[in-house]
Amino acid sequence: MEANFLLNRHLSDNQIAHISSFGSEDAPIIFSLISDIDADGKYCETVIGFTSRELLVFPLEGETEIYRIAYENIETIYAKRMYGNAFIRVKEKGQEKTLNIFRYTFGIAALCDSAVMFVNGLIEGQTVESQIEMITTAFEKQLSVCPRCGRTLSSPGVKCINCESKGRIVKKLITYLKPVIWGLIFSVILSIGTTILRLVPPYLTASLVDSVLPERDWNQLVTVGIWLVVLSTVRYTLGIIRAYILRKNRDRVVGRIAGAV
């Protein structure tokens, strides 16, 4: 199932349906943020969802919301950064106490800041459409960057290759290279052959300078010249064959990777 609302991470179909169930037909979930900790600092995947009318906080695997409030009943809402994590805080109209409703790590801090701006914009009378546009831009920017290392991702929301397990990357690479492994081995053999052929001409040239020319051995001169031409021809021919095989195998691997994306 593809979510019809914005998310900061990939979820299963059941989890997407679970989040959607907290919305309604006239006020569906517009976007949601998932944190790995709850307001008390305990490990618990917690969701904060936003509709056009209200926000809700609930566990990703729970059936009952932890907190729900209409925007019209919010006096103030803001993000407060602490040491190592941060809170979205809400003060309801007519209440003196400010509540910590959603706790999160700095990996989604930018999105939480945008969520606060979204609510404040609606409270101030901005249109839902204009605020959705702002939120969409924030999500696209956030999901295009790895939250762990800060590197730009190949496409929004995909796993960062720099942070992924090196063993898993090697295993996946072997899967893509397996159909072309013999072609790669043959290319390595050709590469060794061209390297050896590249070492022979200097030896022939040295004998040409040291022995053939001083002794004016014209027959030997012709023989060395022929060998130099033959070796160069063979070396460049093997190089062309090697380049062709590598290009063909590269195209096959790229095709397999593109088909798997």
CATH number for position 34? 2.30.29.30
Render pLDDT for 73-100 as a digit per residue (tens, 0 to 9): 999 999 999 887 899 999 999 999 999 9
Residue at 130 is within a domain = yes
Residue 229 forms part of a structural domain: yes
Residues 155 and 188 in one domain: no
- CA nearest neighbour of 51 among 66, 67, 32: 32
Domain finish residue from 110, 137, 159: 159
Is residue 8 a part of any domain in this protein? no
Q: How far is CA 14 from the centre of its chain?
A: 24
Task: Collect the ranges in the chain with pLDDT lower than 50.
Answer: 150
Same domain assignment for residues 28 and 149 = yes
pLDDT at 49: 94
Q: What is the pLDDT of residue 91?
A: 95
State the residue range of the domain holding 69: 13-159
Listed residues 126, 159, 192: the one ending a domain: 159
- Note whether 70 and 119 are same-domain residues: yes
Same domain, 155 and 176: no
**The total number of structural domains that make up the chain:** 2
Looking at residue 171, what is its pLDDT?
77
One domain, residues 218 and 191: yes
Report yes or no: 199 and 192 within 8 Å, Cβ to Cβ. Answer: no
By the 10 Å C-beta count (0-12 exposed, 13-18 middle, 19+ buried), 64 is classed as exposed
- Report residue 111 CA to chain centroid gap: 18
For residue 242 the two structure tokens come to: 């090697």
- Identify whether the C-beta of residue 45 lies closer than 8 Å to the C-beta of residue 59: yes
Task: Assess if residue 27 is contained within a domain.
Answer: yes
Task: Find out whether 146 and 164 touch, Cβ atoms under 8 Å.
Answer: no
Residues 22 and 122 reside in one and the same domain: yes
Q: The pTM is what?
A: 0.59
pLDDT of residue 122: 94
The answer as to whether 5 is a domain residue is: no
Say what the pLDDT of residue 259 is: 65
Tell me: do 187 and 150 sit in the same domain: no
Cα 192 to Cα 187: distance, rounded to the nearest angstrom: 9
3-state SS class at 78 = strand
Tell me if 7 is assigned to some domain: no
Judgement on whether residues 116 and 33 belong to the same structural domain of the protein: yes
- Asked, for residue 3, whether it belongs to a domain, the answer is no
pLDDT at 31: 94
Q: Determine the pLDDT at residue 115.
A: 95
- Asked if residue 30 and residue 138 are part of one domain, the reply reads yes
Q: What is the pLDDT of residues 2-15, one digit of tens each?
A: 678 888 888 888 99
pLDDT of residue 87: 94
Asked whether residue 4 is assigned to any structural domain, the reply reads no
